[in-house]
Amino acid sequence: MSELLLETRKVSKSFGGVKAVCDVSFSLKSGDIIGLIGPNGAGKTTLVNLLTGVLTPDTGEIIFKGEDVTRQRPFQAARRGISRTFQIVQPFPQMTVLENVSAAVLFASGAAQKISHAQEIAFEHLKFVGLETLANRPAQTLTLPSRKRLELAKSLAMNPGLLMLDEVNAGLNTGEIEQALDLIRAIAKRGITILIIEHLMKVVLTLSHRIMVLHHGELISEGTAKEVVNDPKVIEAYLGSKFSEKQVFLEDSLRG
């Protein structure tokens, strides 16, 4: 049986009078691939920011590997094994591809080590994502698909137990998305738990063991792909109440 890796207990976060995340409780087990979906403004990225210490919850608790990490800072989250990618890729543009990933290796370790050793580790991550031939190129010269792969290599260099992928397929064409899916599956085979935020339903339905749906900051549905896409609350959140009443299937409506 898989071990409990992360748990949130009634986590909430407000900005002014707007509740971006409202009493969200869920758990992740080791080896899970969980899809996190919801309309724009649902609170998905805010939730990831709470889990990684970028934001601190107003109320509630976050437990990681049995430890209360509710008020952790981002560097503490990274060194505990909580890693993420960003929806908008953020390499160090004038550094080489190898230097970008080496920096992540050094940061994650939290201790001084030889640059040469960090570069060896970084190069292995570049080989894994298929960027080894571009190792000495400045990051700013990469195409968008290659920058997405660099973002993955940087996050893997943090040696995560939990990896959160925020719109990692945004801006990619169909062929590039298929390659990205293969790469995500390969990451999962390493035993890394994955929380994937996506607007592309094909990606979520293909990869996820379980899907969670946020709407107006609330977790309105959780379950298998079939359970979620046929949940009237989810259909209404995406398509409106008149479609919900007619039981239009979300999977069919959002396919493409």
User: Domain ranges in the chain?
Assistant: 4-81+160-253, 91-159
The rounded radius of gyration (Å) of the Cα atoms in the chain is: 19
Q: One digit per residue, pLDDT tens: the chain, 256 residues?
A: 579 999 999 999 999 989 999 999 999 999 899 999 998 889 999 999 999 999 999 999 999 999 999 999 999 999 999 999 988 888 999 999 999 999 999 888 765 578 899 999 999 999 999 999 999 999 999 999 999 999 999 999 999 999 999 888 888 888 988 888 999 999 999 999 999 998 887 788 889 999 999 999 999 999 998 899 889 898 888 766 555 544 444 555 444 4
The listed CATH number (3.90.209.20, 3.10.20.30, 3.40.50.300, 3.40.50.800) that belongs to domain 4-81+160-253:
3.40.50.300
Q: Exposed, middle or buried by CB within 10 Å (0-12, 13-18, 19+), for 11?
A: buried
Residue entry with tokens 């996506």 = 198
Determine the distance from the C-alpha atom of residue 231 to the mean position of all C-alpha atoms in its chain, rounded to a whole number: 24
* Cβ atoms < 10 Å from Cβ of 202: 16
* pTM for this model (two decimals): 0.89
Residue 143 identity (one-letter amino acid):
T
